[in-house]
Amino acid sequence: MENNKDDDYIVVKAKENGVQVIGLTRGQDTKFHHTEKLDKGEVLIAQFTSHTSAVKIRGKAEVLTKHGKVESES
């Protein structure tokens, strides 16, 4: 089965108030295109698309991907 970029999701769970999840665009120039602010305990499920190539997380959060779990720090 072919791995399509549209099948990739991440789950972000905020471990503190004010965690920022920032979507970054594809293409020659990488730019911010979307920002979400999460409070402690909130969960965001994000999908990589033809428009979104990366996600930047600011703050303390747990991130789950098909590759495993990682924790960001403040």
Point out the residues of the chain with pLDDT beneath 50. Answer: 1-3
Q: Where are the domains of the chain?
A: 5-71
Q: Please state, in angstroms and rounded to a whole number, the distance separating the CA atoms of residues 29 and 4.
A: 22
Q: Please state, in angstroms and rounded to a whole number, the distance separating the CA atoms of residues 41 and 61.
A: 9
pLDDT recorded at residue 25: 81
Overall size of the chain counted in residues: 74
Candidates 37, 41, 46; CA nearest to 19 is: 37
Q: Please state, in angstroms and rounded to a whole number, the distance separating the CA atoms of residues 8 and 3.
A: 9
Please give the class, per CATH, of domain 5-71. mainly beta
